[in-house]
Amino acid sequence: MEIFMKPETYTLFENADKETIVETIAKELKTRNESPFWTDKVAPFTSAILSVLIPLREQGLLFTPEGKKAEKLTPELFFEWSDFLSLKTLAFTLAHSNEAGKLLRTSLDDEACEKYEPIDLKELGEYLSRYTVNLEREDLDFPIANYNLHQGVSNVIKSLL
């Protein structure tokens, strides 16, 4: 299913800082008749994802969950990473990359990967741990209910943009 976004949404994701994007989504959420249940989930989820995507954007090292180079931070790329399993994988990829001092698990060229600067994973890690993602062992699953919840959160965000 194709997503249709407002042109200003693309500009926002390509250029704005994390706080501006989160504030914009939160303001839009307030204008909708969404349940407070979603209101409490959308901003922290958005912030956690952007806490790593913005630094990757700044380094010119954005990539898709399949490891392919992405030229820009777009709403579509954001939604690809908002899949809870993909987000968990991203956290582990960046943790391993931080340890190695270069970007791993992508098909980006070696020269670009060597320019990788470690990214602070504190916010993303805290967010994932609240939803029982084991941050020590990548092979362990998390409850399917948490996956389903995050699909719902993603759908609410899509409806806002």
Burial zone of 106 (CB within 10 Å; 0-12 exposed, 13-18 middle, 19+ buried): buried
Q: What 3-state class would DSSP assign to 69? A: strand
| Per-chain mean pLDDT for the chain | 89
Domain spans of the chain?
7-160
| The pLDDT of residue 1 is above 50 | no
Entry pTM: 0.88
Q: Which residue has the higher pLDDT, 44 or 1?
A: 44
The identity of residue 68, as a single letter, is K
Q: Which residues pair with 63 in a beta bridge?
A: 69
| The pLDDT of residue 134 is above 70 | no
- CA–CA dist 161, 139 (Å, integer): 33
- CA–CA dist 114, 149 (Å, integer): 36
pLDDT at residue 78, as a whole number: 96
| The pLDDT of residue 108 is above 90 | yes
Q: What is the pLDDT of residues 59-98, one digit of tens each?
A: 999 999 999 999 999 999 999 999 888 999 999 999 999 9
- CA–CA dist 59, 153 (Å, integer): 28
